[in-house]
Amino acid sequence: MREIYKDKVILFFKGDSTLSEIFWIQMKTTKAMLRINAERFLDKLKEEKVDSIETALKLVDQRIGISETLPDYIDISLTPSNHGTNALKLSYGSSEFEGNPIELIVNQQLGYRQTVLRCVEPVRGYGFYGADRFGNIHQFRKVDEPGWKEVMHDLEELIRCR
């Protein structure tokens, strides 16, 4: 298998490929892509009428497709957290991306929310905790306000990030 790097996209070719044998995976997320993903994330949650933590909890273990034409989705799960608690996690993902560019985590029992990003550029207001092999910086922001309105506000801020 050959790899060709072009404009932040890795193209994988299998042997002497025809067009039908070419697979591509977007590995890097820019701020522009992050803004688009955040907008799609917010729009889909509104479209699905996910308007509270209680509504989101009813959708645990479900995958919501963003649209029929995009490979993007939202995964909703309940994950183990600190001190024996559970946190609600909403992850924006794509079958064309390794990892999730945006994750929203809410732990009502411990009274916090956290937004986790993967982006090649630093996002103002987020701390760094690592990087992946494609150059995405793993970033997070933890806030002591676990309300749904604040979670949606975090997505709105990402739509405006520069």
Q: State the virtual CA torsion across 152, 29, 32, 57 in degrees, nearest 10.
A: -10
Report pLDDT digits (tens) over 25-69: 568 899 999 999 999 999 999 999 999 999 999 999 999 999 989
Burial of 110-125, coded b for 16+ CB within 10 Å and e otherwise, reads eebbbbbbbbbbebee
CA distance linking residue 82 with residue 8, whole number of Å: 36
Report pLDDT digits (tens) over 68-106: 898 999 999 999 999 999 999 999 998 777 789 999 999
Helices 148-159, 31-47: axis angle to 10 degrees equals 140
* pTM score, whole prediction: 0.83
| Residue 90 near residue 61 (C-beta atoms within 8 A) | no
How much is the pLDDT for 12?
A: 46
The H or E element that residue 82 is part of is: none
